[in-house]
Amino acid sequence: MAAFGRERLARLSPVRVLILAMLDGAFIAVGGLLAVLLAARIETPAPQRLVGGFGFSTGFFFVVRSEAVLFTEANVVLPATLLETRRSGRRIARFWAIGWIGNLVGAIVTAHLIAAA
């Protein structure tokens, strides 16, 4: 995990991190929308949760396939990177903050676009 985090820190510029994080925020928002829409008419709790889970996992699948920046990824991968390297604490904090802001902005913009549609 630390090697993966170190490689991502070296490869991604702050602007690219922001764009990829916004994209992931949009994917997660769409996954949440799919979960709600697919489970809306199902009244039995277990099948409702199952179908909703399928909808949400679709958005998460897009996140994984795009290799973009998800805030929760930063919470898992970056501490391992920090423990191994100790030199890149500032870069890790910047990556984490930009990832959080980008996910939030991407989700909010997507929600507004969905509401406007």
Q: What is the mean pLDDT of residues 2-29?
A: 88
Q: Return all residues near 105 (Cβ < 8 A) that are at least 6 apart.
A: 21, 22, 25
Residue that is written with structure tokens 């998460």 in the block? 60
Q: What is the mean pLDDT of residues 33-50?
A: 94
The reported pLDDT for the residue numbered 35 is 94
pTM: 0.83
Q: What is the mean pLDDT of residues 33-37?
A: 94
The reported pLDDT for the residue numbered 110 is 96
Tell me the per-residue pLDDT of 72-102, one tens digit each, with 9 for 90 and over. 877 777 777 777 776 667 888 888 899 999 9
- Taking the alpha carbons of 86, 77, 75, 95 in that order, is the dihedral positive or negative? positive
Q: Return all residues near 71 (Cβ < 8 A) that are at least 6 apart.
A: 21, 96, 99, 100, 103
The reported pLDDT for the residue numbered 81 is 78
10 Å Cβ neighbour count for 18?
18
Tell me the per-residue pLDDT of 15-24, one tens digit each, with 9 for 90 and over. 999 999 999 9
